[in-house]
Amino acid sequence: EAGVAQSPRYKIIEKRQSVAFWCNPISGHATLYWYQQILGQGPKLLIQFQNNGVVDDSQLPKDRFSAERLKGVDSTLKIQPAKLEDSAVYLCASSRPLGHWDTEAFFGQGTRLTVV
């Protein structure tokens, strides 16, 4: 079974530029998560999708961050414009549908973003 795929692995941009990350979840996983992990901290949920609908985006800075999951499969996360404090690892995860008895989450390798 293929895992969660993310790209790119690394990205360096200047502040005020825009950047986009891509995620392909495990086949059949209806739930997709984007997490932000700042160095030395645990991951923080940014947005959660069930199929192509948003379930929770309460911690997404909506003035600069946006995400979509067209057709309920792949997802993109965008930052525009980027700030220095956005430097972090962005992790994508997927799991079986909400309410399923087994909602074990599987994570991708992450995208390390450095804003200079």
Partner 1 sequence: KQEVTQIPAALSVPEGENLVLNCSFTDSAIYNLQWFRQDPGKGLTSLLLIQSSQREQTSGRLNASLDKSSGRSTLYIAASQPGDSATYLCAVSRASGTYKYIFGTGTRLKVLA
Binding site residues, partner 1, CB under 8 A: 4, 6, 31, 33, 35, 40-45, 48, 55-56, 91, 93, 98-99, 101-110, 112
Of the two residues 47 and 79, which places its CB atom closer to partner 1 in the complex? 47
Of the two residues 16 and 54, which places its CB atom closer to partner 1 in the complex? 54
Give the shortest CB-28-to-partner 1 separation in angstroms.
17
Closest C-alpha among 86, 88, 6 to residue 40: 88
Give the shortest CB-51-to-partner 1 separation in angstroms.
14
Give the shortest CB-4-to-partner 1 separation in angstroms.
8
Give 24-27 contacts, CB < 8 A, sequence gap 24+.
24/73, 24/74, 25/73, 25/74, 25/75, 25/92, 25/93, 25/94, 26/1, 26/2, 26/94, 26/106, 27/1, 27/2
Of the two residues 18 and 114, which places its CB atom closer to partner 1 in the complex? 114
Of the two residues 30 and 82, which places its CB atom closer to partner 1 in the complex? 30
Give the shortest CB-47-to-partner 1 separation in angstroms.
10
Q: Alpha carbon of 21 to those of 80, 94, 98, 100, 104: distances in Å?
A: 12, 15, 24, 28, 23
